[in-house]
Each structure stands twice: as C-alpha cells, then as structure tokens.
Amino acid sequence: MLKSVTANQQQYVGLQELSALARTLQPFIGPQKKYRFIQNVRSGESALTCSCFCAIQNLEPTCALGQLVCETLQEHEKIYHTGSGCLMFLAGAWSSAALLGLCQGISVTQIISIMNEGIEICLDAVRKSALLFNGLDVRLSRRSTAAVHGLELSLSEEAFCVASNLPFNFQAPPAKVYQQAQNIRGQRQIKLSRYFCENKSEMVSEFETCSFAHIAEGLSHSCDNLMKLAVEVMQVQSRSNQDITTVTFDISKVTTCVLFGLPEDCSCAVPGCIVLLSDEQVSVFHHLKTKRLKVALIDGDLSHSYHHMGFKRPAGMQHVRDQPSVSESSTEDKWVKKVVKLFLDLGVNLILLTGVACKPMDQNCCRNQILVVEKLNSSVLRTFAQSTGSALVTYPSQLRDHCVGTGVQLALWRDLSCYDRKLVPVNISTEENTGLVTAILTSSVQCKSQLQQDRFWACAYRLHHALKDRALLPGAGRTEMFCIHLLQKQAQNCREKSTNSVPPSAAGTAVALHTSVMLELMADGLMDYITTVMINSGKMSKVEARTIVTRQLQTFDVHQGNATKFPQLVLGNENEAFVFPSRKQTECAPAVEVYDNLCVKQEAWRRALDLVFLVLQTDEEVVSGLDQKMEKDTMML
C-alpha cells in the first residue's frame, strides 16, 4: 500500500544541506580547478572530473534537495554549458546568508523581498558594467559619458568600449540628463564617423584580428590551449562566412574528434567533418578517396528491426507457414540485399547515419564499396543535406534520386600510422564550404580525454555566448566587487535611514535594519565567491585574499567620495586599477584582461537565488510510497 510520509525539516535543514553541498564542490570554482576522482564503490569505476555539473551527476543524489540542485544545474548546463560552478557556489553562499538572516529573526517573507532587491541591484550593476562590442556598430553602443576620455584609445586598441546606462544623477531632473546624454552622443558620433570614413577597411580588419584575440584571451580562464583551439575553430568557420559584420560562432556545426596517443599540442581545427574509420572501412575508403561521391543521409538506424519513434510493434503477431520454406535466408538477409541493391541502383557510395548500422548491413556495404559512417550528429547531417542538396530520410526505402546528394569527397586527413596503425582519420567534406569544423583533440592520457572535451566545449561556448551577447563583463572578480560595493552601499543607506528616521516607528526601523543586514550578507556571499576563486589559484590563503579584496573595496570608496558621478568613476577605476594579482598573471608578463560572459553570469546568479528561495520557503517534504524502512524524523500519514 502506498503511504506518504512527511519529513519535518526543522531548523531549515534544506538550507544547511544546500550550503554544505556547495562547500564540497568548492574546489571546482574558478579557472584554477582542482581535479577530483569520483569512485563508484559498487562498480569500482572511477571518473576524473573538475566540473561541478559532472560531479553532481556522478554523485546521483537521492534526497529531494540533491535532486532539485541536479535539475537546476542540468537546466542551466543545457542552455549555457558553462557557469554551473558559479551557480552552485552562490546558491550555497546565499543559502548560508538566508540561514543567518533567519537566525537573526528576519522572517522568510522579508528575506525573500530583500534578497530580491539585492539581486536587482546586482543584475543592474552587471548590466551597467557590461562592455559592449558590436562589430562595425561600435559607436551605437556608446551610450555613456564614461567612455569619452579613453575613446580613441579603446577604439584602436580594443575596438570595443565601455557602456553604461545614462549617468544617474539624483539632483538633475530626468529630462536634463537625457538632453545631456544626447549632446554627448551627438558630438561623439561626428568624431567617430570621421574616424570611420577615413580608414574603414582598416578598422574592420583590426577588429577581426586584434580585438578578437583579446576577447578570447580574456575568456580563456586559464584554458589557454583549448581556447586557442576554439578560436581556431571559429576562424576556420568564419572564413566561409563572407559577411564580416556579423561574426558568429555556429556551435551546432562543430564536432570533436579525439585522437589518443598523440601529444596534446597536436590539437587543431580542421574544416569538414573528421571521423575515425575501422579496419574494414579503410579498404573501402582507399577505393573511394579520389571520387566525387553520392551521399545518402539517414536519420536513424540502418537495420531491419529499426522503426521510427512512436511505432508500436503489435504484440500478438505470429508467423505461420503452410509449407516448409525452401530458402533458408532470413528476412533480415533479404532486407539487407534489397537495401544494398537500392543503394547500388542510386549509385550511393557514402551513407551517413545518426544511429548505427546492423552488422550484416555493414559487411554487405563494405563488400559493395559503400562506406557507412555511424553515430553522427543530426545537425551535421542537416548541414550536409543543405550543402549537397539531399534530404534526410528515416528509412532507406524512402530514398529516391532527389534525396541523394552529390559532390562529397573523402580524404585522409593525416597519416598517423607512425603513432597508431589503427588511427585513420578521414575528412568528409563537400565542394562548397559548409561551415562544418572538427576540433581534433589529442591526448596521450586516455582518462583526460573527457575532461579535455568538457573544457574545450566550455571555451567554445564562452566564445559563442560572447559573440551572441555582443557584450562582455569585466572578469576576475571585478564585476563581483562592483556588486559588493553597491550592496554594501545600499546596506549602509538603510542603516542610516533606520537611525535617522524622523518619526521613530519600530516597524519601519526593523525593516530598514533587516534590509541592511541581509544585503551585507548577500555581499558576503559574493565576497566568498571571489576569495574562493583566489584561494583555488593556490597562491594565497583565505586571510590574504580577503585582505586584498577589502583593501580594493576601501580604495573604491575613497575614489568615489563625491557620490554624484558615481558609476563612471567606478568603471574608470576598474579598468585601470583592478587587475587581480591572483589570476593569469605570471611574474613578468603583463596582466591580461579577464572577461566573463554577460548572460551566463546573470542567469547563474538569478538561478542560484531562485534555488535558495525554493529551499527557503520549503518546510516539509512529502515522500510517497514509503516501505518498511522508516527514516528518522518522519511522520506517517
């Protein structure tokens, strides 16, 4: 019988669990990650990981909270493929903040409304500190006075600029501010347009080469070699794309191919789709390599028993024969023969599949010099369909002349027989450039391959998001510090309000005090995040890290002593003065600007807080279908 049980979560166990879980995942935060082994005691398998998401998935949580965390990370990872560490850490840090708030007697409803206010401050700050770049439209993105001074400098050196919203000036009426901004923009446009008229083409190329390398370097987060690979992939892809103003990075056309046994510096980007062939396929390949091939694209498996999704095989079907059959060949053999005959009739030499081919089919095709390539990405197949004028089909019986594409070529990418005789990487390409790029990842240590792939994709996605957002955030803790600064400032305002309020109403004072406490706690969460990143770099202790951050925040305050033109000063300051000693800076090399993705950071923060809110508001757990094994603290209904 089904029974439900309610587990009473006294003392906000959920929040404690969440912060504890986040604490165990701390080593995965920041660019200098620490590797961890995850061992399955039952099966004896182990995995090497350095990503939060991977770790959580391997831990297979069974408790409600673990499940919730896992779902949240999955959703985030599905869209952004990066930033789950940040999400997890902040969820933990902010749940500790909420817990401390509860201990001080702040009610749940209040905590939620204050933290909502806090996140709005942060997200607004993030938006304001975004560095927009927009290809040719650089000048359109300049919206503030902040960038006026370093204008030419930033254009020639970086070709993107600091943009913040209109300076908010409490004394000035809104209309005036608007006018002021208009004027500035007008002046600047004239200046800029002259600049553009004179050497437009130069500008473009400069943006293409110089600034792009700069962005990529800033986004690499210590994954230099893999980021270099990602940039290479992008450059290979954009070479086909003639329109320079819309540089994009179409990640759906990128595949990876892992080669074991080669040193890591052999990684590179190759136009086309590179696959590894098996021994039997190699002879077919040698037969086909000089020809223009006809290709068939099949979305599914190539086997007799395969059916499209949603097809139900009737259960009660029996095959009855009134005479003993003469030929022994099974229906499968017949089917294979029929399909191969169809391929031969259509003149198909190459078959690309998303699924797998059955063994007899494989053999039969090899015999007839037809190459079958399995397990390809369906987006890759679509690209081939577009470029060869063919169409994806589900069953081989659907193939007609118009479904078959032409002009595909096979070429041995590189002769690797000196490393491993079995490695035969073959490039499938078409005459026109498709934008398909393969990232060749080489590794001499097999267990690192998954890790390398993960990190490559993270780099690629960071680049992809940067180009999609057309914006970057100052990284290396600069954005976080800006947010901490604003949160602390707001907290202080509330504190002052609570002491100075003219009619002393107890409720009003309490609210203001609570607000200041909660905002401070939220700022502490962000502070923890940057200090953890610094500690993970292995160059300093917690105390040192905290001291550095606090000192930076204090100098901040000194600079913006007159609070009227506050955002500009902060931003100006940030760009010049704030380069972290912790990250990416070797003793003699000049500091590299570090950047983060705008939308990834915004989303990760928002999702982290949503998770905290859900857990904070939950007081009980309802478990259905409980068996004899009773847990403690449970009550049966």
Partner 1 sequence: MSRVVKKTPSVCTDMPLNNAEVCAKLHLMKELLRSCYGPTGRLKHIRNNIGGRVTTSSSSSVLLPALSSSQPLLNLIKSSILNHISRFSDCGLFAAIFCLSLLEHVRQHELRENLAIKVNKHCLSLCTSYLQREDCACRVKVNFCSSQNLMTLAGSIISSKPACLLTEAEKHHISTMVVRAFLQTIPCSTPGPVTLGHTVTVTIVGLRVLDSAVFPGLLVEMYDPFDQTDSSSGPLRTVLFSTSLAGDLAELGDGTIEVDPDVDTDLQVLNQLLELGKQLVEDEVRLCVCQKVIHPVLQQYLRSHGVVVLERLGMALMEPLSMLAGTQPVATLHARILSTAYGRVKNLSTKQFGFKTMLHLQPEGEAAVCTMVLCHRNETMLDELKVVCQKAEHGLRLTLKEPSALLGGGCTETHLSAYVKHKGQQEASESAAGLGCSPAEFLLGVKVFCRSLDMVARSLEHDGGTSVIDLNHAHHWTVSAGATKEDMVGGLGLCGCGLVENSPSTKWTFLNTEYAEFCPAPLLGDSCRKPTVLDSFTAKVNALQVAVETANLVLDVRYIIEDVN
Q: Please give the angle made by the CA atoms of 372, 375 and 378, to the nearest 5 degrees.
A: 105
- Using CB under 8 A as the binding rule, whether residue 622 contacts partner 1 is answered as yes
Cβ–Cβ < 8 Å for 308, 398:
no
Cβ–Cβ < 8 Å for 474, 129:
yes
**Exposed, middle or buried, 138 (CB in 10 Å: 0-12/13-18/19+)?**
buried
- Using CB under 8 A as the binding rule, whether residue 607 contacts partner 1 is answered as yes
- Using CB under 8 A as the binding rule, whether residue 613 contacts partner 1 is answered as yes
- Using CB under 8 A as the binding rule, whether residue 199 contacts partner 1 is answered as no
Among 213, 432, 623, 633, binds partner 1 (CB under 8 A): 623
- Using CB under 8 A as the binding rule, whether residue 630 contacts partner 1 is answered as no
CB of 391 to partner 1, least distance (A): 8
Contacts 24+ apart (CB under 8 A), 545-552: 545/582, 548/581, 548/582, 549/477, 549/481, 549/484, 552/481, 552/578
Residue 631 phi/psi, 5-degree rounding, is -90, 165
- Using the minimum distance from each CB to partner 1, give the nearer residue, 424 or 611: 611
CB of 548 to partner 1, least distance (A): 34
For residue 326, what is the DSSP state? Answer: S
Binding mask 505-524 for partner 1 (x = CB under 8 A): xxx--x--------------
- Using CB under 8 A as the binding rule, whether residue 4 contacts partner 1 is answered as yes
**CA within 13 Å, CB half, 118:** 33
- Using the minimum distance from each CB to partner 1, give the nearer residue, 130 or 594: 130
Q: Which residues of 431-441 are buried (b: 16+ CB within 10 A; e: fewer)?
A: eeebbbbbbbb
Cβ–Cβ < 8 Å for 307, 397:
no
Site for partner 1, residues 5 to 34, rule: CB under 8 A: 6
Cβ–Cβ < 8 Å for 355, 301:
yes
Among 197, 315, 502, 588, binds partner 1 (CB under 8 A): 315
CB of 393 to partner 1, least distance (A): 7
Q: How far is CA 235 from the centre of its chain?
A: 20
Site for partner 1, residues 55 to 74, rule: CB under 8 A: 62, 64-65, 67-68, 71-72
Q: How far is CA 281 from each of CA 278, 285, 346, rounded to the nearest angstrom?
A: 5, 6, 21
- Using CB under 8 A as the binding rule, whether residue 617 contacts partner 1 is answered as yes
Give the position of tokens 């933990």: 92
CB of 340 to partner 1, least distance (A): 18
- Using CB under 8 A as the binding rule, whether residue 245 contacts partner 1 is answered as no
State whether residue 346 is helix, strand or coil: helix
Question: With CB under 8 A as the contact rule, which of the stretches 359-367, 424-432, 502-510, 543-551 interacts with partner 1?
Answer: 502-510
- Using CB under 8 A as the binding rule, whether residue 331 contacts partner 1 is answered as yes
- Using the minimum distance from each CB to partner 1, give the nearer residue, 54 or 115: 115
- Using the minimum distance from each CB to partner 1, give the nearer residue, 418 or 507: 507
- Using CB under 8 A as the binding rule, whether residue 632 contacts partner 1 is answered as no
Among 43, 201, 290, 318, binds partner 1 (CB under 8 A): 318
- Using CB under 8 A as the binding rule, whether residue 306 contacts partner 1 is answered as no
User: What is the secondary structure of 565-600 as a DSSP string?
Assistant: GHHHHHHHHHHHH---SSSS--SSSPPPP-EEEHHH
> Taking the CA atoms of the chain, what radius of gyration do you get in angstroms?
30
Interface contacts to partner 1, rule CB under 8 A: 1-4, 6, 62, 64-65, 67-68, 71-72, 75, 79, 105, 107-110, 112, 116, 308-322, 325, 331, 382, 391, 393-395, 397-398, 505-507, 510, 603, 606-607, 610-611, 613-614, 617-627, 635-637
